Structure 1
Amino acid sequence: MRHVNVLLAGGASRRFGEPKAFVNWRNKMFYEWAKTALGDKKPVIISHPELIKRFQAYGEKNVFQDVEPFQGLGPLAGIYTAFEKTDGDVYTVLSCDTPLIKRSTLLALRNGLNERTDAVVPVSEGREQPLMAVYHKRISSFLYEQLSQKRLKISDFLHQLSVCYVDAEEIGAKPEEFMNINTRCDYQQMDEQY
Structure 2
Amino acid sequence: MVKTAAGILAGGKSSRMGKNKASLTWNGDTFLHTLIDACRDFPEIYVSVDDREKYRDLSCTLVEDEEKEYGPLEGIYQVLKQMDAPYAVMLATDMPMISREFLKALVSNITGEEDCLVLRREGRPQPLCSVYAKRILPVVEHMRRNREHKPGLLFQRVNTRYLDLEELGFGEAVIANVNTPEEYEQLCFHYGRKLQEFAPRVREKLTHGKVMVCYLDGLGYRMYKNAADNGSVPFISRNFSVLPVRTVEPPVTNPAMATMITGELPYVHGIHSRKDREVLVPTLFAGRSGENTAFLEGDTRILKTELLPRLHAAAKGKGCDYWIYRDACKAASEEKEFIFAHFHEIDDAAHADGPFSSACMEKLKETDGYIEALSGIFKGEILLISDHGVHETGDGGNHGENPCSNGVYSYNIEDMLAVWGEHI
TM-score by length of 2: 0.43
Partner residue in 2 for 1:182: 179
Note the 1:1-194 alignment, pairs <5 A.
1-40=2-41, 43-49=45-51, 52-57=52-57, 59-67=58-66, 70-194=67-191
Q: Distance in 2 between matches of 1:166 and 1:28?
A: 30
Q: Distance in 1 between matches of 2:103 and 2:84?
A: 20
Q: Which has the larger radius of gyration?
A: 2
Kept after mapping to 2: 8 A contact 1:121/1:130: yes
Give every structure 1 segment of 4 or more consecutive aligned residues whose post-TM-superposition deviation is greater than 4 Å: none
Question: What code does the residue aligned with 1:84 have?
Answer: K
Q: Distance in 2 between matches of 1:40 and 1:78?
A: 21
CA-to-aligned-CA distance 1:145-184 (integer Å, 9 cap, x gap): 1111111111111111212211111111211122221110
Q: CA deviation at 1:100?
A: 1.0
Structure 1's 155 and 19: CA in aligned 2 closer, same or farther, altered over 3 A?
same
Structure 1 unaligned spans of 5+: none
Q: CA deviation at 1:36?
A: 2.4
Q: CA deviation at 1:35?
A: 1.3
Q: Secondary structure at 1:159's aligned position in 2?
A: helix
Structure 1's 84 and 175: CA in aligned 2 closer, same or farther, altered over 3 A?
same
Q: Distance in 2 between matches of 1:111 and 1:188?
A: 33
Q: Distance in 1 between matches of 2:143 and 2:65?
A: 15
Kept after mapping to 2: 8 A contact 1:106/1:132: no
Q: How many residues align?
A: 189
Q: Distance in 2 between matches of 1:60 and 1:15?
A: 28
Q: Secondary structure at 1:122's aligned position in 2?
A: strand
Q: CA deviation at 1:65?
A: 1.0
CA-to-aligned-CA distance 1:44-97 (integer Å, 9 cap, x gap): 110111xx223223x334112123xx3331111111101222322111111100
Q: Distance in 1 between matches of 2:145 and 2:36?
A: 30
Q: Distance in 2 between matches of 1:6 and 1:190?
A: 23
State the percentage of identical aligned residues: 29
Query: Which shifted more, 4-13 or 160-169?
Result: 160-169
Q: Distance in 2 between matches of 1:128 and 1:39?
A: 25
Kept after mapping to 1: 8 A contact 2:41/2:100: no
CA-to-aligned-CA distance 1:85-142 (integer Å, 9 cap, x gap): 2322111111100111222222222122223211111111222111111111111111
Q: Distance in 2 between matches of 1:2 and 1:171?
A: 19
Question: What code does the residue aligned with 2:56 have?
Answer: Q
Q: CA deviation at 1:21?
A: 0.6
Question: What code does the residue aligned with 1:54 have?
Answer: K
Question: What code does the residue aligned with 2:125 have?
Answer: E
Kept after mapping to 1: 8 A contact 2:70/2:149: yes
Q: Distance in 2 between matches of 1:137 and 1:188?
A: 37
Question: What code does the residue aligned with 1:17 have?
Answer: G
Q: CA RMSD in A?
A: 1.7
Structure 2 unaligned spans of 5+: 192-424
Kept after mapping to 1: 8 A contact 2:12/2:71: yes
Q: Distance in 1 between matches of 2:65 and 2:152?
A: 20
TM-score by length of 1: 0.90
